[in-house]
Amino acid sequence: MTAPVTTDTDLDEAPATDGGRGPARRYGLLAVAVAVVVGLLLGYAGGLLTPTFTRPGDHSPEAGFARDMSTHHAQAVEMGLTAFQQGEDPEVRQIGGDIATGQQGEIGTMQTWLRSWQLDPTGDQPPMAWMPDGAQSVKNGLMPGMATPEEMAKLRAAKGREFDVLFLQMMIKHHLGGVHMIQGVLDEGYDKDVLAVAQVMKNTQQTDLTNLRAALKRLGGTP
């Protein structure tokens, strides 16, 4: 799970002469990549602890949430890793790394749920069909808050402060969509273990939103 932002000075020691992308930055990126993998494995292990006495069905809110939120999280992981690698502002890099590692672990948990319920990672229903207002919330095939391919390309091409502001703006939008989806399973679901994890996800993303908005304000960006 992502935590309230604290600047990790070990990740910010790259020489200023190369824009902060020297050996220290490369080492830091490798460390975050390793942390993402570890988070995924821990997520799988955590998911295995979910009891299977009563398994959610293929069209249950729990199954739909696990599938759709895994996809939603995957984009956040990509955005977070990009921020850690390309961000100019130390806090932006820290936020990106935290989101990438935390949400990769949650993907592991949700994918393990599906396996323990003996369900496929993808179902036969369209995205968001498990929520009462799901169809209305999907725009151009994208779930709430998700960036378009063009927006992702623009983020990858951005540099310096422009990148930092764009990342914060996009991640705020992404998290708001994620919170909407999490609230959906909290309202519609019944599996107590899924609901417990979902509540932690919601709390974490709301904390992230506070940090993202504060960083954006500090950098002079608009929501």
Query: Side-chain half-sphere of 6: how many Cα atoms within 13 Å?
Result: 5
CA atoms within 13 A on the CB side of 100: 25
- The token duo for 132 is 């009462």
Q: Domain segments of the chain: what residues?
A: 22-218
Q: Which of 207, 196, 214 is nearest to 47 (CA)?
A: 196
Query: Helix, strand, or coil here: 219?
Result: coil
Q: For position 20, what pLDDT does the model report?
A: 47
Fold entry, domain 22-218: Ferritin (1.20.1260)
Residue-wise pLDDT tens digits, 90-141:
999 999 999 999 999 999 999 999 999 999 999 999 999 999 989 899 999 9
| List of residues 6+ apart from 153 with CB closer than 8 A | none
pLDDT for residue 2: 43
DSSP codes, 28-52:
HHHHHHHHHHHHHHHHHHHHHTS--
What is the pTM for the complete model shown?
0.77
The residue ranges of the chain whose pLDDT is under 70 are: 1-53
- C-alpha 193/C-alpha 49 separation (Å) is 9
Residue 129 in 3-state DSSP? coil
End-to-end CA, the chain: 24
In single-letter form, the type of residue at position 182 comes to I
Q: Are 119 and 50 in contact (CB under 8 A)?
A: no
